[in-house]
Chain A
């Protein structure tokens, strides 16, 4: 079946697999990112990524497929960050700092126990989109479907919680469970994106397209859709540029997303950056 007869630069199988994985991650990471940005937790993806790195090192040390250990570490870390934040034990950014640095340091120590940094560790730090196998793509697609399903079902409730947690609680929404669900979905996003741009850059795909989308959209739902589109577009364009100019694909994808952000900030400036704070259907629609 593969390779499909697509035009350059996607005429080869490895590029088609990279494109599929890239588009899935590019489209789904910003969906979660939209909620995190709203909560002023744009760096949460980074924190989870650092914890996931410790999970990867543990997996490599134990001889287990690192995706499982990364997922366990990411979900555990995300929930712990959320727990610390919600209990007021530490402000959001201090909780993040705890996990950021423990995560990376833990990963370094575990890698040291394994003997040294093996080349596999670096590919999880910085991504290896060109060596994505068919099996990897299936896993990424499944994780992506999980994220899309979660957002499609729960976005209004999640939006109410990130907009005004107290009001949501008063309105009877299960706030704690929703926050934990969001944290869990963020962890899944980070692990899915790990193969594409690496744990150190996956947060960029969660935040930058959202920043771009906020300049273009006039409702929260619009932001979600724009962000997803810009993310997927960045993956596509990034791969084209990387192939054309022989550049590292992971970094190129993120730079394209950054360029989109700058372009939207300059061009779409007429929309107030607070536009996303309007209700789910826009200021004039039903709330």
Chain B
């Protein structure tokens, strides 16, 4: 009996020593980012001093991410975890909160707003009216992710807010590996300059347009709309699965006709069926407006990044809004 106790204790001690990959002797900071924009920013700021893992694979929609056991380990063991709270990716949130420290909730650090509260058409619109998919969703028992989602998480579509996030990420990385601070600060400054240039291009490109309403698949573009003075008209709410009801489709068709909207926008990672139905009903075209919640596999293979996709979005917006 005593041998057994000693043996088990020794085994437990040995196992406790395993894992917990600290910043190894080579000074590399392991960073786990919950989805693409955070991973991209961390990679740009950290350079060779970091090893970044993106939990959401290319071509996958982040809102519903469920973690594999290996990913849970990665979140628990990393030096720095970057994620968004507020119900955006509840699986990641739960694991990140279990850590003692080193997990950064970007939404807590940025001036974010209530979900779609600023959209003029939809004062009082309940984004979750159609969200009954999750009521009977036994696969996600307990996963009531969209119930608490009242903060709009899509801040990265405003480059100036992403620049602020870069500051937060910069501080977190420097804290994890102080010896790398000079390089981290220099790269962060360079990335912020790039984002400022992007902001200037967007502002110039969207300054003088024939119309300002954008009909989009889900309410991901509030911050973009605020920054460049557009009006977002979302078909679905803050998360893309909610299907519209027939009354909403009719309402949107009328709105498109009344305001002379030329295009219904859809996204690369989500089925375009709803956008296409609405566009066919209203007799207008469809086009992609990418909320950059992730890179499509095609974009990832082609080496496109946030800047490239935003510029593509700008071109699509300029055409749909008839900008000069």
Show the binding face of A for B, using Cβ within 8 Å: 9, 12-15, 18, 104, 108, 112, 115-120, 122-123, 125-126, 128, 130-131, 133, 200, 239, 242-249, 251
Show the binding face of B for A, using Cβ within 8 Å: 56-57, 59-61, 64-66, 68, 129-130, 132-133, 136-139, 240-241, 243-250, 253, 269-271, 273-274, 276-277, 280-281
Is B129 a contact of A246 with CB atoms below 8 Å? yes
| Min CB gap A14→B, angstroms | 5
| Further 6 A-B residue pairs, CB within 8 A, beyond A115-B57, A119-B271, A133-B277 | A12-B250, A13-B281, A126-B132, A126-B133, A131-B243, A248-B132
Is A243 a contact of B250 with CB atoms below 8 Å? yes
| Min CB gap B126→A, angstroms | 10
Q: List 9 A-B contacts (CB under 8 A).
A: A12-B281, A13-B280, A115-B57, A119-B240, A119-B241, A122-B133, A128-B274, A131-B274, A200-B136
B contact residues around A118 at 8 Å (CB) = 60-61, 269-271
Is A243 a contact of B133 with CB atoms below 8 Å? no
Is B277 a contact of A14 with CB atoms below 8 Å? yes
Most buried by B among A118, A120, A244, A251: A118
Closest chain B residue to A108, Cβ basis: B139
CA distance A280 to B61 in the complex (A): 53
Is B133 a contact of A125 with CB atoms below 8 Å? yes
CA distance A242 to B250 in the complex (A): 12
Quick one: given A14-B281, A248-B132, are A116 and B273 in contact (CB under 8 Å)? Answer: no
B contact residues around A104 at 8 Å (CB) = 138-139
A contact residues around B137 at 8 Å (CB) = 125
B contact residues around A122 at 8 Å (CB) = 133, 241
Closest chain B residue to A129, Cβ basis: B246
A contact residues around B249 at 8 Å (CB) = 12, 14, 130
Quick one: given A119-B271, A131-B276, are A246 and B60 in contact (CB under 8 Å)? Answer: no
CA distance A55 to B131 in the complex (A): 24
Is A131 a contact of B132 with CB atoms below 8 Å? no
| Min CB gap A89→B, angstroms | 27
Quick one: given A12-B281, A248-B243, are A119 and B270 in contact (CB under 8 Å)? Answer: yes
Q: Which of B241, B246, B274 contacts A242 (CB 8 A)?
A: B246
Is B244 a contact of A244 with CB atoms below 8 Å? no
CA distance A123 to B132 in the complex (A): 12
B contact residues around A15 at 8 Å (CB) = 246
CA distance A120 to B269 in the complex (A): 10
8 tightest A-B CB contacts, nearest first: A115-B60, A246-B247, A131-B273, A243-B246, A246-B245, A131-B277, A120-B271, A116-B60
Is B60 a contact of A123 with CB atoms below 8 Å? no
Closest chain A residue to B58, Cβ basis: A115
Closest chain A residue to B281, Cβ basis: A14
A contact residues around B271 at 8 Å (CB) = 118-120, 123
Is B246 a contact of A9 with CB atoms below 8 Å? yes
Quick one: given A131-B274, A251-B132, are A112 and B66 in contact (CB under 8 Å)? Answer: yes
CA distance A130 to B253 in the complex (A): 13
A contact residues around B65 at 8 Å (CB) = 116
B contact residues around A246 at 8 Å (CB) = 129, 245-248
| Min CB gap A122→B, angstroms | 5
CA distance A200 to B139 in the complex (A): 13
Is A242 a contact of B277 with CB atoms below 8 Å? no
| Min CB gap B122→A, angstroms | 13
